[in-house]
Structure 1
């Protein structure tokens, strides 16, 4: 019996839980798949993707630093991938490479699950990397009052503002200006040592969300507790939700994520 093969391409991938997550999805649906993770260097990315599909691979998840390359490599792209100019999910259909970006949908689903409101809220994002880019369009579609992006390199933020300004109220802020805006939600996409911890201006019952998860987010979650945020979350729910969206694209079935969300050894 031929078993459908899937994989995660990135660098690094050693700590990724994607194989375990997708195997759990398959098991819960009574299906059998093979899912591996592979270290792929940037200079080998295009060849690795083509070889994977030529050898009968069914689908790929793409992580750093290849999401922009995956978008450029694809023959057909979804609206979410096109807006983000990045892709985290690839598959073959009609002999063409198709691409989607499920990061933003996974992020919004996780916030909704936690009952974190976005409409008419003032939101600040720390960082301007690929993870941030992937969530901006879905975030703006929720109609926040204002979305501010803060990064040490202001040029990168200004580019994001230019790319997404047609979708809603989005502005760039320097680290020096961070104290001027009282916020309802702080989304962290950078390392703890980069946060100007003495300058955050919180509204009552402000919430905190770190796009990282597990040990990578531990220090920032502790910092958030000290700041007095209301709800404090890491990106585990986002990871699981975006993975479920990828699984549905590949296999036509949406897995139940309830059990995976409960994993406490991640």
Structure 2
């Protein structure tokens, strides 16, 4: 009986050496006995499109895209998922009927991780900090998952309002569940507080003052590391009953990309546990 053919996948970015995607996707493939060769690909802005075209011309199955190429990847594709359309950015590319398709799986990765943690977004009041690419990628999936209300706050309130208005324009049925403001606009009681900024890389908390958390509340930082971030620690003092970093989101978005490419839904728990042990 012939061995199954090898499926070629990769992640493209700059820098790229730090990416955990190969070990995650190889672990997923092992669950199903798939022969997946998943590589890191370093590109620069001048040759990114050439890398993408060459990869698929040589029979590549799927590409993940990381910084700084998510917007460029979106522009290269001819078909876009709703989440990619809203974000104007893509982290997952594949060919279908000869056409390049793009998706942004960050949102479903976050939703699935929140659910794993016991905080499924349905009926939750969510404070989303940040209005950049990370926030754009998760806002629509959070609404689709049934969030009761989401407030987007950002250092530039204009940017936060622009994101909310964009949603309201293209998805008017969600408009009543959204509002926006600057980093001081935190009045209210919050069930889930999500840091979608990169502030934790600088060991900073993006919030300017304490916030009011509900009796069952989660502080979630999209960044991840061996130790809790300043944001997570501060939110516990504000009253958050649980905190988590974004490692589960990383594994979750990878699982959704894996499903898009291979039609198989991997078990994220053992992969997440293994990564956590090696941070």
Q: TM-score, normalised by structure 1?
A: 0.91
Range that drifts further, 125-134 or 227-236: 227-236
Which residue of 2 is the match for residue 173 of structure 1? 181
One of 108, 112, 121 as aligned partner of 1:109: 112
- Kindly state the Cα deviation for residue 63 of structure 1 after the two structures are TM-superposed: 1.5
Secondary structure of the residue aligned to 1:48 is helix
- In the alignment, does 2:272 pair up with 1:261? yes
One of 55, 59, 62 as aligned partner of 1:52: 55
One of 189, 192, 215 as aligned partner of 2:196: 189
- Kindly state the Cα deviation for residue 197 of structure 1 after the two structures are TM-superposed: 4.8
- Kindly state the Cα deviation for residue 78 of structure 1 after the two structures are TM-superposed: 2.3
Which residue of 2 is the match for residue 30 of structure 1? 33
Q: 1:118 to 1:95 in 2, by over 3 A?
A: closer
Which residue of 2 is the match for residue 73 of structure 1? 76
- In the alignment, does 2:244 pair up with 1:233? yes
Secondary structure of the residue aligned to 2:216 is strand
Secondary structure of the residue aligned to 1:64 is coil
How many angstroms apart in 2 are the aligned matches of 1:106 and 1:30?
Answer: 23
The count of residues paired between Structure 1 and Structure 2 equals: 265
Does structure 1 conserve the Cα–Cα contact (< 8 Å) formed by 2:205 and 2:230? Answer: no
Q: 1:154 to 1:217 in 2, by over 3 A?
A: farther
Which residue of 1 is the match for residue 258 of structure 2? 247
- In the alignment, does 2:223 pair up with 1:212? yes
Range that drifts further, 214-223 or 255-264: 214-223
How many angstroms apart in 1 are the aligned matches of 2:104 and 2:207?
Answer: 31
How many angstroms apart in 1 are the aligned matches of 2:163 and 2:92?
Answer: 22
How many angstroms apart in 1 are the aligned matches of 2:15 and 2:158?
Answer: 27
Deviations along 1:183-210, whole A, 9 cap, x unmatched?
Answer: 1210001214252353322233321111
How many angstroms apart in 1 are the aligned matches of 2:160 and 2:129?
Answer: 10
Which residue of 1 is the match for residue 143 of structure 2? 140
Deviations along 1:107-143, whole A, 9 cap, x unmatched?
Answer: 1111112221433332111111111111111111233
How many angstroms apart in 2 are the aligned matches of 1:238 and 1:56?
Answer: 29
- Kindly state the Cα deviation for residue 22 of structure 1 after the two structures are TM-superposed: 0.3
Unaligned runs of at least 5 residues, structure 2: none
Moved runs in structure 1, 4+ residues, more than 6 A? none
How many angstroms apart in 1 are the aligned matches of 2:236 and 2:84?
Answer: 34
Deviations along 1:36-74, whole A, 9 cap, x unmatched?
Answer: 112323333222211221222221001122222212111
Secondary structure of the residue aligned to 1:41 is coil
How many angstroms apart in 1 are the aligned matches of 2:50 and 2:228?
Answer: 33
Q: 1:119 to 1:244 in 2, by over 3 A?
A: closer
Q: Considering only aligned residues, what root-mean-square deviation do their CA atoms show, in Å? A: 2.0
- Kindly state the Cα deviation for residue 154 of structure 1 after the two structures are TM-superposed: 2.0
How many angstroms apart in 2 are the aligned matches of 1:240 and 1:73?
Answer: 25
Does structure 1 conserve the Cα–Cα contact (< 8 Å) formed by 2:6 and 2:37? Answer: yes
Q: 1:119 to 1:25 in 2, by over 3 A?
A: closer
Unaligned runs of at least 5 residues, structure 1: none
